[in-house]
Amino acid sequence: MMLSLRSPGGDFNSSPDSGQYVPQLDYEHLARRSNVLRSLHATHEEWRHAMESFVVASSVPQVQAIEYAFKHVENSHGGEGDYDTLVHMQRGALTAVILAERLGYDVSDRRILMVSMRVHDAGKLNSDIQALLSIPRPNDEQFKIIQSHAALGLTYGAVLSLGPVVQGITGFHHAYKAKDPYGAELTAVPEDLRNKRLEMVAAVADVCDALLSVREYRENDPSRPLVFTPEEAIEKLRAELTVDADILDAMEALLLSTPSAPAIV
């Protein structure tokens, strides 16, 4: 299914009604190796708002710059492009803004969240990290290098120029893990300028996509499941993340409740 919406271009808090076309969102490409979007029991209205936010964010120069870089970075196989991370960020962004709307966030916060999720793994553009991303079970030293992507994301001008809320989501999206959290020690973003609730929403959407999608590091490890079921994903989210209970309850409702309107499939 190819979805095309209209976008104003420029400011990602603008209203999507000016009629300027943006490139089509290839839903089939996003869903090809993932069950997360198929599993979301969102209403048509929630889907429409998420798609509007997606195409508005696609006009933000900083998002374009980060996504262009992921399409052309040298990957762990010596080829061009890290599409595993790129598409993970895009799916996570759609998941996050649907979750945020279910929690009552307004369009301004949802669009900031959308932009944040589209760049939150920018630190993985680092060549040392790229070399390790397909390793199924990295050793402690390798894992520390991979973990550094949260802090490295805050060194990119494209991320820094988007403001402290985006910086907070980029730097702290792994800081809410119950075991081996990382990023919590970062001081680059002033405490009083962060939006920790949006960071939690981002953390839940990020892990949810990783669990319900085929990720390259799991694909290379036959001892681990390629993807988890929605029920397994909720169980792991509750066990592995220290976030507000209502965020997890809303994610569970999106994954496990009977939809009030058919999901886009």
List CB contacts of 214: < 8 A, sequence separation 6 or more. Answer: 33, 34, 226, 227
Domains contained in the chain, number: 1
Is pLDDT at 78 greater than 90 in this prediction?
no
Which of 21-30, 130-139, 202-211 shows the lowest mean pLDDT across its residues? 21-30
Is pLDDT at 4 greater than 80 in this prediction?
no
Does some domain include residue 61? yes
The more confidently predicted of residues 166 and 10 is 166
CATH of the domain at 55: 1.10.3210
Q: Dump pLDDT digits (tens) for 229-248.
A: 999 999 999 999 999 999 99
Does some domain include residue 166? yes
The more confidently predicted of residues 229 and 219 is 229
Determine the distance from the C-alpha atom of residue 94 to the mean position of all C-alpha atoms in its chain, rounded to a whole number. 8
Does some domain include residue 265? no
pTM confidence score: 0.85
| Banded pLDDT at 227 (limits 50, 70, 90) | confident
What is the span of the domain harbouring residue 31? 3-7+25-249
Q: Which one of 17-21, 112-116, 224-228 scores highest in mean pLDDT?
A: 112-116
DSSP string for the chain: -EE--EE--S-TTS-S-S-EE-PPEEHHHHHTTBSHHHH----HHHHHHHHHHHHHHTT-HHHHHHHHHHHHSB-TTSSB--HHHHHHHHHHHHHHHHHHHHTT--HHHHHHHHHHHHHTTGGGGSHHHHTTTT-SS--HHHHHHHHTHHHHGGG-HHHHTT-HHHHHHHHHTTTTBSSS--STT--SS-GGG--HHHHHHHHHHHHHHHHHB--HHHHT-TTS-SS--HHHHHHHHHHHB---HHHHHHHHHHHHSPPSSPPP-
Q: What is the mean pLDDT of residues 212-226?
A: 78
Is pLDDT at 22 greater than 60 in this prediction?
no
Does some domain include residue 185? yes
Residues of the chain with pLDDT > 70, as a percent, come to: 83
Ramachandran category for residue 180: left, alpha or beta (phi over 0 → left; psi -120 to 50 → alpha): left
Does some domain include residue 214? yes
| Banded pLDDT at 20 (limits 50, 70, 90) | very low
Q: What is the mean pLDDT of residues 194-204?
A: 96
Q: Please provide the average confidence, as pLDDT, over all residues in the chain.
A: 83
Does some domain include residue 255? no
Does some domain include residue 187? yes
User: In this predicted structure, what is the pLDDT of residue 260?
Assistant: 44
| 197 half-sphere exposure, CB direction, 13 A CA radius | 11
The more confidently predicted of residues 24 and 225 is 225
